[in-house]
Amino acid sequence: MLNYSGRLDSVYAALSDGSRRAMVDRLSRGPASVKELAEPLTMSLPAVLQHLRVLEESGLVRSQKVGRVRTCRLEPAALQQAEQWLADRRALWADRLDRLEEFLDSSSSELDSSSSEGDQP
Protein backbone atom coordinates (compact mmCIF):
# COMPACT_ATOMS: atom_id res chain seq x y z
CA MET A 1 0.00 0.00 0.00
CA LEU A 2 2.83 2.41 0.75
CA ASN A 3 4.07 2.05 -2.84
CA TYR A 4 0.93 3.83 -4.03
CA SER A 5 1.05 6.61 -1.45
CA GLY A 6 2.50 9.35 -3.67
CA ARG A 7 0.34 8.35 -6.62
CA LEU A 8 -2.81 8.27 -4.50
CA ASP A 9 -2.00 11.66 -3.02
CA SER A 10 -1.77 13.18 -6.49
CA VAL A 11 -4.94 11.41 -7.68
CA TYR A 12 -6.98 12.61 -4.71
CA ALA A 13 -5.47 16.10 -4.96
CA ALA A 14 -6.43 16.20 -8.64
CA LEU A 15 -9.96 15.05 -7.82
CA SER A 16 -10.33 17.62 -5.04
CA ASP A 17 -11.28 20.32 -7.55
CA GLY A 18 -14.81 20.43 -8.96
CA SER A 19 -13.71 21.53 -12.42
CA ARG A 20 -11.26 18.64 -12.68
CA ARG A 21 -13.93 16.21 -11.47
CA ALA A 22 -16.22 17.56 -14.20
CA MET A 23 -13.48 16.89 -16.76
CA VAL A 24 -12.99 13.35 -15.43
CA ASP A 25 -16.74 12.81 -15.53
CA ARG A 26 -16.86 13.94 -19.16
CA LEU A 27 -13.90 11.74 -20.07
CA SER A 28 -15.56 8.74 -18.43
CA ARG A 29 -17.93 8.81 -21.42
CA GLY A 30 -15.06 8.72 -23.92
CA PRO A 31 -12.18 10.78 -25.32
CA ALA A 32 -12.68 14.51 -25.77
CA SER A 33 -10.76 17.43 -27.20
CA VAL A 34 -9.59 20.22 -24.92
CA LYS A 35 -12.19 22.45 -26.57
CA GLU A 36 -14.96 19.96 -25.70
CA LEU A 37 -13.73 19.76 -22.12
CA ALA A 38 -13.60 23.55 -21.83
CA GLU A 39 -17.09 24.24 -23.25
CA PRO A 40 -19.18 23.65 -20.09
CA LEU A 41 -16.63 25.32 -17.79
CA THR A 42 -16.69 29.00 -16.95
CA MET A 43 -12.96 29.63 -17.17
CA SER A 44 -10.35 30.64 -19.68
CA LEU A 45 -8.64 28.13 -21.94
CA PRO A 46 -5.29 28.64 -20.12
CA ALA A 47 -7.03 27.77 -16.84
CA VAL A 48 -8.50 24.62 -18.42
CA LEU A 49 -5.01 23.67 -19.62
CA GLN A 50 -3.64 24.11 -16.10
CA HIS A 51 -6.32 21.79 -14.74
CA LEU A 52 -5.56 19.26 -17.46
CA ARG A 53 -1.88 19.41 -16.54
CA VAL A 54 -2.77 18.48 -12.95
CA LEU A 55 -4.91 15.58 -14.20
CA GLU A 56 -2.10 14.38 -16.48
CA GLU A 57 0.54 14.64 -13.76
CA SER A 58 -1.65 12.55 -11.45
CA GLY A 59 -1.95 9.86 -14.12
CA LEU A 60 -5.72 10.22 -14.42
CA VAL A 61 -5.63 11.62 -17.96
CA ARG A 62 -3.48 11.14 -21.04
CA SER A 63 -3.54 13.44 -24.02
CA GLN A 64 -2.34 13.25 -27.59
CA LYS A 65 -1.94 16.09 -30.04
CA VAL A 66 -2.76 15.45 -33.68
CA GLY A 67 -2.38 18.57 -35.78
CA ARG A 68 -3.99 21.39 -33.84
CA VAL A 69 -6.30 19.18 -31.78
CA ARG A 70 -5.32 17.77 -28.38
CA THR A 71 -7.48 14.79 -27.43
CA CYS A 72 -7.69 13.64 -23.83
CA ARG A 73 -8.47 10.16 -22.52
CA LEU A 74 -9.16 8.87 -19.06
CA GLU A 75 -6.64 6.41 -17.60
CA PRO A 76 -8.78 3.89 -15.68
CA ALA A 77 -5.82 2.34 -13.83
CA ALA A 78 -5.32 5.49 -11.73
CA LEU A 79 -9.00 5.52 -10.78
CA GLN A 80 -8.87 1.81 -9.97
CA GLN A 81 -6.05 2.37 -7.48
CA ALA A 82 -8.03 5.12 -5.77
CA GLU A 83 -11.15 2.97 -5.78
CA GLN A 84 -9.20 0.02 -4.30
CA TRP A 85 -7.93 2.23 -1.49
CA LEU A 86 -11.50 3.25 -0.67
CA ALA A 87 -12.73 -0.35 -0.92
CA ASP A 88 -10.03 -1.46 1.54
CA ARG A 89 -11.13 1.22 4.03
CA ARG A 90 -14.80 0.28 3.52
CA ALA A 91 -14.06 -3.40 4.19
CA LEU A 92 -12.07 -2.52 7.31
CA TRP A 93 -14.90 -0.45 8.75
CA ALA A 94 -17.56 -2.98 7.78
CA ASP A 95 -15.60 -5.64 9.69
CA ARG A 96 -15.23 -3.36 12.72
CA LEU A 97 -18.93 -2.53 12.72
CA ASP A 98 -19.83 -6.23 12.42
CA ARG A 99 -17.68 -7.00 15.44
CA LEU A 100 -19.25 -4.12 17.37
CA GLU A 101 -22.72 -5.44 16.52
CA GLU A 102 -21.75 -8.93 17.74
CA PHE A 103 -20.37 -7.46 20.96
CA LEU A 104 -23.49 -5.38 21.57
CA ASP A 105 -25.75 -8.35 20.84
CA SER A 106 -23.82 -10.57 23.26
CA SER A 107 -23.80 -7.84 25.93
CA SER A 108 -27.54 -7.36 25.50
CA SER A 109 -28.11 -11.11 25.82
CA GLU A 110 -26.04 -11.21 29.00
CA LEU A 111 -27.99 -8.30 30.48
CA ASP A 112 -31.31 -9.93 29.57
CA SER A 113 -30.34 -13.25 31.15
CA SER A 114 -28.98 -11.63 34.32
CA SER A 115 -32.08 -9.47 34.78
CA SER A 116 -34.42 -12.44 34.29
CA GLU A 117 -32.42 -14.42 36.90
CA GLY A 118 -32.88 -11.57 39.34
CA ASP A 119 -36.68 -11.68 38.83
CA GLN A 120 -36.95 -15.20 40.24
CA PRO A 121 -37.72 -15.50 44.02
What is the residue-level pLDDT of the chain in tens, covering all 121 positions? Answer: 445 578 889 999 999 999 999 999 999 999 999 999 999 999 999 999 999 999 999 999 999 999 999 999 999 988 888 888 889 889 888 888 988 988 888 887 777 776 666 555 5
> Count of CB atoms within 10 A of residue 61's CB?
23
The neighbouring-strand residues paired with 73 are: 62
Q: What is the pLDDT of residues 50-68, one digit of tens each?
A: 999 999 999 999 999 999 9
Q: Which CATH class is domain 2-77?
A: mainly alpha
* Integer Cα distance of 102 and 104 in angstroms: 6
The neighbouring-strand residues paired with 32 are: 72
Domain ranges across the chain = 2-77
